[in-house]
Copies of this chain bind each other. A is one copy, B any other.
Amino acid sequence: MTWEIFNAIGTIAFAISGAIVALEEEYDILGVYVLGMVTAFGGGAIRNLLIGVPVSALWDQGLLFLMAILVITVVFLFPLRALKQWKRWGTFTDAIGLSTFAILGALYAAEMNHPLSATIIAALLTGSGGGMLRDVLAGRKPVVLREDIYGLWAMLAGLLIGVGAVNQTWGLYVLFVAIVILRMMTVHYKWRLPHRTIKQQEDVSV
């Protein structure tokens, strides 16, 4: 039951996030739906693929499909003025999606007795996979690769679940809330991971 609720929240959050990006890119209404759906279900599809669950398990979520379509419709019809305030809400719903999917990805991987590294990577890719697909399809550089501390919190969830530090329902709820708060604090206080650059030369990479 925990899982279903988590999954529904994350799916809706990512559907909204994808729909908003599509609006920003001036995609038409179908593009808004497609990008919303891809963002909402892409992370789960990548997770299923990576940990060995049939990707077609996606289709058992009829109710989630309907919810995602509904919420995308709401975004599309929303007053423009309200959407401009999206920044705050977008960060929040996205944080919920990140937290949810990271935990779910880690739980799936842990349950299948994959090694710790797999659990951490599954958490990272499940949490950020939908957003990566969204950004690639919108012609953007994936936000998870370039900005703020995003994937790190997903990996933290993967680590804690992978080593067995969190394995009970209430523990998962606490972890869920903690990841959301950490992500919101990251945005609010503009925490950054270290990064360094090498000047891009004519043709450095091959």
Contact = CB atoms under 8 A, between A and B. Distances in A.
Interface of A: 17, 20-32, 34-35, 37, 45, 49-52, 54-56, 58-59, 62, 65-66, 76, 80, 83-84, 86-87, 90-91, 94-95, 109, 112, 114-115, 117-118, 121, 124, 132, 136-152, 155, 187, 192-201, 203-206
A136 B138 contact: no
A62 B80 CA distance: 49
A56 B62 contact: no
Contacts of A193: 28-30
5 contacts: A28-B145, A34-B151, A86-B204, A91-B206, A187-B206
B66 A198 contact: no
Contacts of A31: 144-146, 195
Nearest to A23: B198
A160 to B, nearest CB: 17
B20 A205 contact: yes
